[in-house]
Chains A and B, each alone.
Chain A
């Protein structure tokens, strides 16, 4: 900063704090609500300090399920979500890194056609191609399975483009030095390119994990069994109950639990993430 006046930073800090409060207050509210009894929340006068039912609520939400709504415990849903999110993130990275490798480092007929074909799929997210994709998934008997949740989502033009841009900055002499050092294409990929891509992979993993975790429409369509549900759908189902009081404390606990893994991924990979997005030195 240029200026270092004593109160010079006061206004920016106030603005930032206000921003943080706006973002964090609903989260705080969810955490607080999850520790109160259902009736306290339902009468509309929920206090802004923690209640005494926290442990009990989380225990029943995660492990035993909620008796009144006969819903499956959230623990299983979290596991499903985790498998799906990791599957999508890893799958997307694996597929796009090898496609980018092919496009950048090899010359074959219709190379640019292949590139543009991948590029064009940016215009075709799941929501657009949902019927054909559903039909194929159904024909392959992948409904209500992890494969069905993951595979249709792992083609990624964005990740391919990102890797392509990164690979194009790798000096061609590095490829040539590898050739002279007796490393073939596979060796070059694993010995040189992959280690150089670690920060990019980490950054992409964070983004794609969250993308996978937040999937709603696709899991909603292809999962019908309770034990295949993901937590994002679970929240919705807990809120929608008929002829009974919505168990808001459970819904809030579920929402809090649904937030935790993405937050954990971001926190754990923050350093690599930032490095991956800003680093230019090769």
Chain B
């Protein structure tokens, strides 16, 4: 059991490329920390630095009160689960789990009991004599977890462990990983690019982009109060609508709510925060949309609407949608027809304001 602390951690490759640009955060004892971000944001590099598989070129990493910068991976008291599992193909499941313990000179009976215990927890008892090649993806995943568990390390490190599984299994394993981590109470750092995994697993969510941290916090806080437009569009699916605030109808609607929008340049509204209504919403924002496309997924429906006639000559926003396009999520399968004009409104407390460059959140 241990906490992990990163202090101004940096990674510069010999070529001069700075992959990690000074990262600080703490993972408390027994907490589940998820690093999330798009490909190439440095999240895996950071995890590998904690593991000791990449050198640390600046700052300090502290595991359980010990600076580990110069300590070999095997001595850091960590266990890692890899994306491709990295099981030893020529060893049986039992030996895969026992290998690390044997290398540490642990006595046989102790190894036996630890492996059996891990096999029991993960329900892989009947497969102990098989080779990894004879197992399914989900079973290999369990063995990889077993190899981590038997070590009884201070920290578990997960590098996108579920991305090689099919969608259904991924959800099942996600729940299991969370349960297992709660049960063992081991501090964990988990890397993923899947925001849903990140939201569901994390005690502490670290959103990374381009080698630095965009926001750290409780997943729900991040969802409710994204600090930047990057976080706003990355966390939550479909992404938050980001509309430029100009001297147009939207701006006057916000200002008429009593407060000035101040320096805000962008307005964010999550698709799920809209309601389709003909009434006015006090202090909120209402948009007139032409329905362009509809996606019905059963429990909910996504409406892609355009405000084209109201946004003549507007440049692209830093968000992901083309200018003037808005996604609205409504429950159920009853939706307006394509081409219909609708009015989508969002209440005041669901509005997010950001500076024009998207780097700063402005409280309304």
Contacts and interface: CB of A to CB of B under 8 A. Distances in A.
Contacts of A177: 80, 82, 86-88, 147
Contacts of B53: 176, 179-180
A196 B91 CA distance: 10
Interface in B52-90: 52-53, 72-74, 78-80, 82-90
B312 interface: no
Contact of B103 (A171, A173, A183, A281): A183
A233 to B, nearest CB: 41
Nearest to A177: B86
A108 to B, nearest CB: 15
Interface SS of chain A: helix, strand, loop or mixed? helix
B74 A179 contact: yes
B38 interface: no
Interface in A173-208: 173-174, 176-177, 179-183, 187, 191-192, 195-196
Interface residues of A, number: 17
A181 B133 CA distance: 20
Contacts of A183: 74, 99, 103
Nearest to A173: B86
Number of chain B interface residues as a range:
20 to 34
A282 interface: yes
A57 B195 CA distance: 82
Interface string A235-265: 0000000000000000000000000000000
A176 B82 CA distance: 9
B73 A180 contact: yes
Query: Which one of B52, B83, B88 has the greatest number of beta carbons of chain A within 10 Å?
Result: B88
A181 B100 contact: yes
Contact of B72 (A174, A179, A187, A282): A179
Given A171-B86, A174-B88, A196-B89, A182 B80 contact: no
A192 B100 CA distance: 13
A220 B269 CA distance: 88
A191 B99 contact: yes
Contacts of A196: 89-90
B70 to A, nearest CB: 15
A192 B88 CA distance: 7
B51 interface: yes
Nearest to A180: B73
B327 to A, nearest CB: 38
A180 B79 contact: yes
B162 to A, nearest CB: 15
Contacts of A281: 89, 133
A180 B51 contact: yes
Nearest to B74: A182
Interface in A80-107: none
A169 to B, nearest CB: 12
A187 B103 contact: yes
Given A187-B103, A281-B133, A180 B80 contact: yes
A154 B82 CA distance: 39
Given A192-B90, A196-B89, A281-B133, A182 B82 contact: no
B88 A173 contact: no
A181 B72 CA distance: 11
B84 A173 contact: yes
A173 B83 CA distance: 9
B100 A180 contact: yes
Interface string B89-132: 11000000001100110000000000000000000000000000
Nearest to A282: B89
Contacts of A173: 82-86
Contacts of B82: 173, 176-177
Contacts of B78: 180
A272 to B, nearest CB: 14
A147 B133 CA distance: 42
Interface string B174-188: 000000000000000
Contacts of A187: 103
A179 B88 CA distance: 13
Contacts of B83: 173
A100 to B, nearest CB: 18
Interface in A157-180: 171, 173-174, 176-177, 179-180
A176 B103 contact: no
30 contacts: A171-B84, A173-B82, A173-B83, A173-B85, A173-B86, A174-B88, A176-B51, A176-B73, A177-B86, A177-B88, A177-B147, A179-B53, A179-B72, A179-B73, A180-B52, A180-B74, A180-B100, A181-B99, A181-B100, A181-B103, A182-B104, A183-B74, A183-B99, A187-B103, A191-B88, A192-B88, A196-B90, A281-B89, A281-B133, A282-B89
Can you list the 10 inter-chain pairs with the closest CB atoms, starting with the nearest? A181-B100, A173-B86, A182-B74, A182-B103, A177-B86, A195-B90, A173-B82, A179-B73, A180-B73, A176-B53
Interface of B: 48, 51-53, 72-74, 78-80, 82-90, 99-100, 103-104, 133, 147
Given A174-B86, A177-B80, A177-B86, 16 more contacts: A171-B84, A173-B82, A173-B84, A174-B88, A176-B53, A177-B88, A180-B51, A180-B78, A180-B100, A181-B99, A183-B99, A187-B103, A192-B90, A196-B90, A281-B133, A282-B89
